Amino acid sequence: MNRFIRRNFLKGQHIVRHIQTVRPACSHHQCIKKNVSPEVVFSCARTASSSSSSLNSPSQRSQLFDDYLNKHSQLLNEYNNNNNRSQRFNEYNNNNNNRSQLLNEYHNRIGYLQLTDLGKHAVEFAQDARGSRFIEQKLKSARRKAKAQLVYALRGHMLTLAQHVYGCHVLETVLKSVDDNALRMEIINELSAQVIPLARHKYGSRVIEHVLEHCTERQKRPVLEQLLGNVHSLVTDQYGAFVIQRVLEHGLLEDRERIVRSLEQANVLTLGTDQYGYYAIRHVIEHCTEEQKRPVLEQLLDNVLTLVTNKHGYFVIQHVLEHCTEEQKRPVLEQLYANVLTLVTNKHGCFAIQHVLEHCTEEQKRPVLEQLLDNVRILVTDQYASHAFKHVLEHCTEEQKRPVLEQLLDNVRILVTDQYASHVFKHMIEHCTEEQKRPVLEQLLDNLHILVTDQYASHVIQHVLQHGLPEDRERIVRSLQENLHILVTDQYASHVFKHMIEHCTEEQKRPVLEQLLDNLHILVTDQYASHVIQHVLQHGLPEDRDRIVRSVRGDIMKNVHLNSFCSIIYKCLLYGTTEQQNALIDELCADNGSGSPPLLEIMKQPSAKYVVQKMQYIVDSAARRAHKMMFDDGNTDPLRNTANKSLTHTVQAQQQRGGAQ
């Protein structure tokens, strides 16, 4: 234990010293530049230190380290007494001052605290974030007597807790874990006075739902009666709608009948298109008997087109197709068949057609497919109808797909450049057999030079690289290699090269990589080609990365203002070896004797901020590894940075030199 405390304290000591000695100049510089109080900087530092290791989490910190942090908080309080404190810090202190001694002890991790110790403080614990979790955890293994004491301690405060963000979870856990009828009735009797307001409340509705789920019929009957008498108002309420759903799931048959009668009187069409009311209609279709839901279905069948083109009503029709009998579905399908072309081009109606294609029988699909196949050329370019053809290619039989593929084959070059039809081609490449898609692939490969520079067709070519045969990839590589220096700088063709680097074999992509590496001095500064070079850094060989690092060295200051170039430097630091990282950091930290040090100049560039952050992370990670090795060796002497170069110390020295000049 002593060794654990000692190591934990040293780890905390290292973090605090790391904050106070390695980063003071940077923090001071940012405070002056942005007019930020040191309080914010120290607060961020404390947050970073607490998350740097699992050993520093509050549940595992040593007492010695806690004492240190408390001392640090006192110093920060003294600073805040002389300065304007933030509102959040004031609220935190006020909450601390208002807590009881028992709750403060629990926050300080008193390990022996039990559920029976709460007494009159139970309500306070239930309304506290940590305290409520403590109660919930203890309830899982508490004895009957301890549960009874808790319920009696909460008596008179049930309504308040039910509407509290943390208190509601305590009541939910009590309802689930307490098996004594008398104790549950204590809770329900208090809640019964405000059932409807609670059902409409964000947190109170959860408690009512738990009453319906976990209590016996006799216990929840008083609550049910109030709910059933107010179905009209609850069913369209944001939270009350979910309470009515629980009644349909856990109530008796006669309760469901009463709800159906209320819905029928309130107009099923209005509820079916309401953002909350449609939930109840769906639950009636799913949970009620055939006889109970017949009146609701009759009203729905008179308004199928209105519902299916509504963003909420569509889900009601979908539930009819999923949960009703074939006889009940037939009138719905007949109305869909009569309006296929209208619905398939509608924002919400298209989902009904897709649902038929995906889930209905072959006989039920046939009328829909016949109308779609007569209009492939027009519908495949429609924003919504194109999704229906994706479903045809994915879920229909080979015989049903064939007419669609034949019509697509006649217009490949035109359709593949369309915004919506291109998605159909991507689906075809992914889901059709090699025999079915080969004629289309041949046309795509024959027009590769035109298609790779198109905004939408380029995505289809990327899909060929991802899902095609090896010989298709080889053919693409050979075609693009001829005009690589032009295509790699194209906005859309550059994405094809990225997919080529990612999905082709080393042998296939090596000729392209050699051309890219031979023209690095041009490509690293190009807006689009730079993304291809970044992909080489990520997916290429170590020797490819080495050539890129050697190429960018010496030109950093000249190109640091370019976003594209800075992104490559960042990827070099991210994927490079330790030697490559050190070489780049050494170049940026070198003191060239001028009045404008390289690193400070880079820090002024908005595009280079991620590069500087990555450099600092690399240096800090190396320091942490060195410190860990020292701890493992049993060395507890004060830690010193013996590195030949330190990024942060370089920043300090250059800032001081710049200030003196």
- What is the reported pLDDT for 39? 40
* Half-sphere CA count of 399, side-chain side, radius 13 A: 4
Q: Which two tokens stand for residue 10?
A: 């040293």
- Domain end among 98, 123, 141: 98
pLDDT tier for residue 278 given thresholds of 50, 70 and 90: very high
pLDDT tier for residue 605 given thresholds of 50, 70 and 90: confident
- What is the reported pLDDT for 266? 87
Statement: residue 287 has pLDDT above 70: yes
Chain-centroid distance, C-alpha 458:
28
**Whole-angstrom distance, CA of residue 284 vs CA of residue 257:** 10
Q: Are residues 458 and 492 in contact, defined by beta-carbon separation less than 8 angstroms?
A: yes
Average confidence (pLDDT) over 76-95: 46
Q: Among 151-155, 242-246, 383-387, 628-632, whose mean pLDDT is lowest?
A: 628-632
Closest Cα partner for 356 from 310, 398, 387, 399?
387
Statement: residue 561 has pLDDT above 60: yes
Average confidence (pLDDT) over 329-354: 94
Residue with token string 């040090």? 597
Chain-centroid distance, C-alpha 403:
40
Closest Cα partner for 391 from 415, 357, 365, 417?
357
H helical segments located in 432-577: 434-446, 448-451, 457-467, 470-481, 484-487, 493-503, 506-518, 520-523, 529-539, 542-552, 556-559, 563-575
* Half-sphere CA count of 510, side-chain side, radius 13 A: 6
Would you call 363 exposed, middle or buried from its count of C-beta atoms within 10 A (0-12, 13-18, 19+)? exposed
Count of domains forming the chain: 2
Longest CA–CA span in the chain (Å) reads 91
Average confidence (pLDDT) over 617-635: 61
**Whole-angstrom distance, CA of residue 572 vs CA of residue 582:** 11
**Whole-angstrom distance, CA of residue 200 vs CA of residue 206:** 10
- What is the reported pLDDT for 447? 92
What is the domain extent for residue 651?
Answer: 527-636+644-661
Statement: residue 45 has pLDDT above 60: no
**Whole-angstrom distance, CA of residue 137 vs CA of residue 115:** 10
- What is the reported pLDDT for 606? 80
Q: Are residues 356 and 336 in contact, defined by beta-carbon separation less than 8 angstroms?
A: yes
Q: Rounded to whole angstroms, what are the CA distances from 618 to 25, 107, 302, 577, 650?
A: 18, 36, 68, 11, 15
Q: Among 100-109, 241-250, 393-402, 486-495, whose mean pLDDT is lowest?
A: 100-109
Mean pLDDT score across all residues of the chain: 81
User: Domain of 660: which CATH number?
Assistant: 1.25.10.10
Residue % of the chain over a pLDDT of 70:
76
- What is the reported pLDDT for 555? 79
Statement: residue 90 has pLDDT above 80: no
**Pairwise pLDDT comparison (642 vs 260), residue with the higher score:** 260
pLDDT tier for residue 649 given thresholds of 50, 70 and 90: low
Q: Is residue 483 part of a domain?
A: no
Q: Among 9-23, 97-111, 154-168, whose mean pLDDT is lowest?
A: 9-23
**Pairwise pLDDT comparison (637 vs 280), residue with the higher score:** 280
Residue 143 contacts by C-beta under 8 Å, 6 or more apart in sequence?
A: none
Q: Which two tokens stand for residue 373?
A: 């196949």
- Domain end among 98, 129, 149: 98
Average confidence (pLDDT) over 606-616: 78
Distance from the first to the final alpha carbon of the chain:
54
- What is the reported pLDDT for 106? 57
Q: Is residue 355 part of a domain?
A: no
Residue with token string 């082709």? 504
* pTM for this entry: 0.69
Q: Is residue 358 part of a domain?
A: no
Residue with token string 């016996």? 216
pLDDT tens digits, one per residue of 250-259? 999 999 999 9
**Whole-angstrom distance, CA of residue 539 vs CA of residue 512:** 14
Measured from the Cβ of residue 267, the count of other Cβ atoms closer than 10 Å reads 12
pLDDT tier for residue 500 given thresholds of 50, 70 and 90: very high
- What is the reported pLDDT for 554? 80
Average confidence (pLDDT) over 156-165: 96
**Pairwise pLDDT comparison (633 vs 105), residue with the higher score:** 105
pLDDT tier for residue 627 given thresholds of 50, 70 and 90: low
- Domain end among 71, 98, 125: 98
Tell me the residue length of the chain.
661
Average confidence (pLDDT) over 429-435: 90
Q: Is residue 9 part of a domain?
A: yes
Chain-centroid distance, C-alpha 180:
41
Q: Are residues 271 and 296 in contact, defined by beta-carbon separation less than 8 angstroms?
A: no
Q: Is residue 585 part of a domain?
A: yes
**Whole-angstrom distance, CA of residue 536 vs CA of residue 548:** 9
Q: Is residue 24 part of a domain?
A: yes
pLDDT tens digits, one per residue of 541-555? 999 999 999 988 887
**Whole-angstrom distance, CA of residue 488 vs CA of residue 498:** 9
**Whole-angstrom distance, CA of residue 406 vs CA of residue 628:** 66
Q: Is residue 454 part of a domain?
A: no
Q: Angle 494-495-497 (CA atoms, 0-180°, nearest 5)?
A: 65
Q: Are residues 285 and 324 in contact, defined by beta-carbon separation less than 8 angstroms?
A: yes
Q: Rounded to whole angstroms, what are the CA distances from 577 to 573, 617, 648?
A: 8, 15, 21
Q: Is residue 15 part of a domain?
A: yes
pLDDT tens digits, one per residue of 435-484? 999 999 999 999 999 999 999 999 999 999 999 899 999 999 999 988 89
Statement: residue 607 has pLDDT above 90: no
**Whole-angstrom distance, CA of residue 197 vs CA of residue 203:** 11
pLDDT tier for residue 11 given thresholds of 50, 70 and 90: very low
Secondary-structure percent of the chain, ordered helix, strand, coil, rounded to 5: 75, 0, 25
Q: Which two tokens stand for residue 491?
A: 């906005």
